[in-house]
Structures are given as C-alpha cells and as structure tokens.
C-alpha cells in the first residue's frame, strides 16, 4: 500500500460492522485494527478478542482502554491472554480516561502522569515475567507475577501505546512506551509540538531507544456524490466531542466561546437532537481542518497530510456511509 493505514472500530458500529471492517482490513493488507472503549456503551476487550479470533494478520490494539477501571495485574493478564488468541499481534493502547465521565463513575482524574507512570511500570514488569513488588501512590503489587500452574510461564511481547493529547503525557510516552496513539480531531499542525514533546521524552529513556511509533485516529467520511453530506457526518461528530470532551478544543483550534455556545445546547449525555441543533454553529472549515472528509480524493489527500506531518500510520474511523468510506479509502491506498 502507498500509505500505511489502520482502522478504528468502536461503539458507533454494531458488532457485525466491527467484524466486517476488521476482516476487510485483514484481507486488504491494512496493518492494524484499534478497538475503542469510550462512553459506557461497550467495552474494548471483548470486541478485541473477537477481532483477534476472526483475523490472521492485522495487529489488534485497544484504542484506548483506561488505567483507572482495571487493576494493573488484571490488565496485564488480559493482554497475555489476547496474545494467546493472536500471537504477536496484540497492542495495549492505554489512556488516562477523561472528565466528566471519570468522576461520574467515582474515579476522578488525579495526578494522571504519576498514575500512568506507575501503571505502565507494573504492566512492563509483568510482561517481562518478573515478580512485581510495588508500593505506589496509585498502584500496589505485593510479590505477584503471571501464574505458571497450568502452562509455561514466560515473557510476553506486548507493545504499549499511550493515548496522549497533552505535551506532558506525550513526553511520558516518549520516555516509557512503544508508541503514541493520538486522538481524533487534532489537526496535522498539532504534530509540530507533539513531535517535540515525544522527542523530549525519548531523550530521557534508560534503554537507549531512539524512536517510538506514532499513530493517530482520523475521523473520515466519504461521499463522491454529495461531499457536504460527508462533511456533515464529521461535523456532527466534532460537535459531540466539543460538547462532551472539551479538552480536545484547546488542541484543535476551537475558540472557547464556540465551545461554550455549543455546550449551552447540550445535555449529558448529548442526544442526537442536541447535536443537530448545535452543529449549525460549526463551520465547514473547522471540520475539514481536523478530519478527512468530502470526496474520496479530498479525504485520502488529508490522510496523506497527516502522514507527512509525522503520523506514521493514520487510523481510519468511519463516519457517514461507513462501508463506502472504508472501501474507497482502502482502494485509494492500494492504487
């Protein structure tokens, strides 16, 4: 393929659509499938296991699970198990969750950098098959390791990618992990500062590694007969994010006044009617700056722009006519 691509699947797709997209990615030579876990609609682990079972070649990442709701030992053994289903293909994509959902379920964000550092350190020790003994502020492990009663106990190679947005989390990813899995709705220009933050972290590494991988989810919608319909599909998605995850706004060039006006329209969680009313406030130019939408040529060119800006592998997240969007972008990448 002339452009490395992955796909992002999540709660907006039915399970049937998820499996269809994953199998298409596998047949078409895409390199990865990333399973989302966001709102309280569907978890990420069960679909990842199904995708692992139904595919042969693509890597399967979580894009992303959080470091608040699962004990670190359970998270480690979960991915050890996923590696049994798809040897050498599992990627642990992890993030710090987001507000206000974290507080709403009793896990408010507190010292996200420190908690992520502790959590990742424990995961890596488990994956090295070490005895883990940690007394941290957020993670405590007392002399535990993978159990060897029923099968051979050995290290497992599970790359860890951090779902990072802010510069300090990007720097932490550069220092500790195998990759960064960046979120939706960040423009290619965001990569200028992101690369600097990642490089600052890499300079602190104790293992001598000189680089880490960079992926980014890109919201995509294609309609060659009605480009505005494709733009509107991404506009509705951007509007939803600005309503419910406004931290994205500061990184994608949205004025705080616009966010406030949008949030005045929305409840929690936002309804389709809320989104329809609020999206009239969002200009096309903003949408096209942070997504890949319009005609096939326009959307694919935007994916190439992300790649040229420093995203090694753009990750397609389909909106609008999802089947058309995915099949046409895959065809464009193969031509």
Over the stretch 144-161, which tens digit does the pLDDT of each residue have? 999 988 888 899 999 999
pLDDT bucket at 116, cuts 50 / 70 / 90: very high
- Reported as a single tens digit per residue, the pLDDT across 184-224 is 899 999 999 999 999 999 999 999 999 999 999 999 999 99
When the pLDDT of each residue in the chain is averaged and rounded to a whole number, the result is 94
pLDDT at residue number 148: 82
In this prediction, residue 103 carries a pLDDT of 85
Mean pLDDT, rounded, for 66-91:
97
Checking if the pLDDT of 76 tops 90, the result is yes
Pairs from 281-288 (Cβ < 8 Å, separation ≥ 24): 281/239, 282/235, 282/238, 282/239, 282/242, 282/258, 284/228, 284/231, 284/235, 286/238, 286/252, 286/253, 286/254, 287/231, 287/234, 287/235, 287/238, 288/231, 288/234
Gap between the Cα atoms of 15 and 21, Å rounded: 10
Going by C-beta distance under 8 Å and a sequence separation of 6 or more, which residues neighbour residue 148? none
H/E stretch holding 34 = strand 32-35
Class of the CATH domain delimited by 6-221+291-334: alpha beta
Mean pLDDT of 296-308: 98
pLDDT of res. 121: 98
pTM for the whole thing? Answer: 0.94
Which is nearest to 200 in space by CA: 185, 180, 186, 215?
180
Which residue stretches of the chain are H helix?
Answer: 15-28, 45-54, 72-85, 101-104, 112-127, 167-176, 190-202, 227-244, 256-265, 272-278, 284-290, 296-309, 322-334
Instruction: Answer yes or no: is pLDDT of 241 > 80.
Output: yes
Lowest mean pLDDT among 240-244, 300-304, 319-323: 240-244
Report residue 292: phi and psi, to 5°.
-120, 100
Residue 187 is predicted with a pLDDT of: 95
Per-residue pLDDT at 225 exceeds 90: yes
245: pLDDT strictly greater than 90 = no
At residue 268, the pLDDT reads: 67
Determine the pLDDT at residue 267: 66
Whether the CB-CB separation of 228 and 162 falls below 8 Å is answered with no
The whole-number pLDDT of residue 31 equals: 97
Question: What are the structural domain ranges in the chain?
Answer: 6-221+291-334
């Amino acid at each position: 393929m002339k452009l490395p691509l992955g796909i992002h699947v999540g709660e907006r797709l039915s399970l049937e659509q998820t499996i269809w997209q994953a199998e298409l990615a596998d047949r078409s030579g895409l390199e990865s499938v990333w399973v989302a876990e966001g709102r309280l609609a569907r978890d990420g682990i069960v679909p990842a296991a199904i995708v692992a079972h139904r595919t042969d070649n693509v890597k399967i990442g979580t894009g992303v699970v959080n470091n608040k709701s699962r004990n670190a030992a359970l998270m480690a053994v979960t991915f050890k198990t996923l590696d049994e289903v798809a040897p050498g293909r599992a990627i642990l994509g992890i993030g710090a969750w987001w507000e206000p959902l974290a507080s709403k379920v009793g896990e408010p964000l507190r010292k996200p950098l420190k908690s992520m550092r502790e959590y990742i350190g424990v995961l890596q020790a488990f994956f090295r098959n070490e005895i883990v003994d940690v007394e941290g502020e957020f993670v405590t492990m007392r002399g535990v390791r993978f159990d060897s009663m029923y099968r051979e106990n050995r290290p497992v190679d599970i790359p860890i990618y951090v779902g990072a947005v802010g510069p300090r989390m990007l720097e932490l990813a550069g220092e500790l992990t195998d990759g960064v899995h960046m979120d939706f709705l960040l423009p290619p220009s965001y990569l200028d500062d992101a690369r600097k933050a990642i490089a600052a972290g890499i300079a602190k590494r104790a293992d001598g590694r000189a680089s880490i991988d960079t992926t980014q989810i890109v919201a995509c919608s294609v309609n060659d007969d009605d480009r505005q319909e494709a733009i509107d599909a991404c506009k509705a998605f951007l509007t939803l994010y600005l309503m419910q995850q406004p931290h994205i706004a500061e990184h994608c060039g949205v004025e705080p006044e616009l966010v406030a006006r949008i949030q005045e329209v929305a409840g929690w969680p936002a309804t389709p009617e809320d989104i329809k009313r609020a999206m009239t406030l969002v200009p096309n130019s903003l949408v096209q700056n942070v997504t890949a939408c319009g005609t096939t040529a326009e959307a694919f060119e935007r994916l190439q722009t992300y790649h040229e800006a420093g995203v090694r592998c753009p990750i397609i997240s389909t909106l609008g006519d999802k089947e058309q969007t995915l099949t046409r972008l895959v065809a464009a990448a193969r031509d």
